């Protein structure tokens, strides 16, 4: 059975891109993502207003894009989702992510626009813990996700339902539609089901998590930003799952 690999680094503003490059090397990204398949960039906008600790940071996004392009992954695409309280268009603009996508000519798709993303019923091979009960008429996922790599870009923060949150919770908004709030009472089982589905549909899964400023308290929006290792160095982490061969 393939095992995940985790790498953690301290970083500084002056070296953040070089540190992200080294982090991806340590976490063995190239052996995780299939170089012949497109890469979905799934940023994490918990709150569309700028809020350190809650949202993907500009250096996190640009760092992973630079590494992917330098490593030969040319077919990159961003996929966004909305929530009842978050505007993804405003979030990308105010958190300075949209200019980065424009700089590197990376298209942005939205999974709630039917002309861009088609949802289809998916029958998982793995035995589901709760999703088949919550969605008895079928588990619907974005057809666009099937057969592609995915890179999650979460931050280190707390969450009122999951206690802490990261890449597994980041799949929540991408893979489930606007009825996903029905899963909150069984959120842990839901995340296990979603990870099983991800392993089936993606050709590779990688996550780059930014912990330069963490979120503490009633997350993911009403948190207290906490600078880790305030002597000047901060924490970044990456992990991956071995890609399918």
Give how far Cα 77 sits from Cα of 58, 109, 169, 225, Å.
16, 7, 20, 29
pLDDT of residue 184: 73
Q: Is residue 161 part of a domain?
A: yes
pLDDT of residue 177: 65
Mean per-residue pLDDT, 41-54: 91
Q: Is residue 81 part of a domain?
A: yes
Q: Is residue 20 part of a domain?
A: no
- 244: DSSP letter: P
Report the predicted TM-score, pTM, of the whole model to 2 decimal places: 0.90
pLDDT band with cut points at 50, 70 and 90 for residue 1: very low
Closest CA to 235 of 11, 6, 5, 7: 11
Q: Is residue 244 part of a domain?
A: no
d(CA 175, CA 105): 24
Closest CA to 147 of 80, 65, 77, 100: 77
Q: Is residue 194 part of a domain?
A: yes
Q: Is residue 227 part of a domain?
A: no
d(CA 178, CA 83): 7
Mean per-residue pLDDT, 120-143: 92
Domain count, the chain: 1
pLDDT band with cut points at 50, 70 and 90 for residue 168: confident
Residues spanned by the domain of 121 = 34-209
Q: Is residue 5 part of a domain?
A: no
Q: Is residue 25 part of a domain?
A: no
Mean per-residue pLDDT, 183-197: 88
pLDDT of residue 235: 43
pLDDT of residue 60: 96
């Amino acid at each position: 059975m393939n095992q995940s690999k985790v790498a953690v680094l301290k970083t500084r503003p002056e070296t953040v891109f070089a540190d992200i490059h080294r982090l991806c090397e340590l976490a063995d990204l190239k052996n995780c993502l299939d170089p012949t398949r497109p890469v979905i960039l799934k940023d994490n906008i918990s709150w569309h207003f700028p809020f350190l600790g809650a949202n993907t940071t500009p250096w996190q996004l640009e760092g992973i894009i630079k590494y992917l392009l330098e490593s030969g992954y040319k077919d990159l695409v961003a996929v966004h989702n909305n929530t009842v309280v978050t505007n993804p268009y405003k979030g990308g603009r105010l958190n300075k992510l949209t200019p980065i996508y424009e700089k590197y000519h990376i298209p942005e798709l939205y999974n709630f626009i039917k002309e861009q993303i088609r949802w289809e019923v998916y029958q998982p091979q793995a035995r589901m813990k709760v999703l088949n009960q919550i969605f008895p008429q079928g588990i619907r996922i974005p057809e666009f996700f099937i057969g592609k790599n995915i890179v999650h870009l979460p931050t280190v923060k707390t969450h009122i339902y999951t206690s802490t949150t990261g890449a597994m919770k980041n799949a929540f908004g991408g893979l489930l539609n606007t009825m996903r709030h029905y899963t909150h009472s069984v959120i842990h089982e839901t995340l296990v089901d979603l990870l099983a589905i991800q392993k089936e549909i993606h050709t590779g899964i990688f996550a780059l998590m930014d912990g330069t400023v963490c979120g503490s308290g009633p997350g993911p929006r009403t948190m207290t930003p906490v600078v880790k290792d305030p002597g000047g160095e901060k924490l970044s982490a990456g992990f991956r799952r071995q890609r399918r061969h």
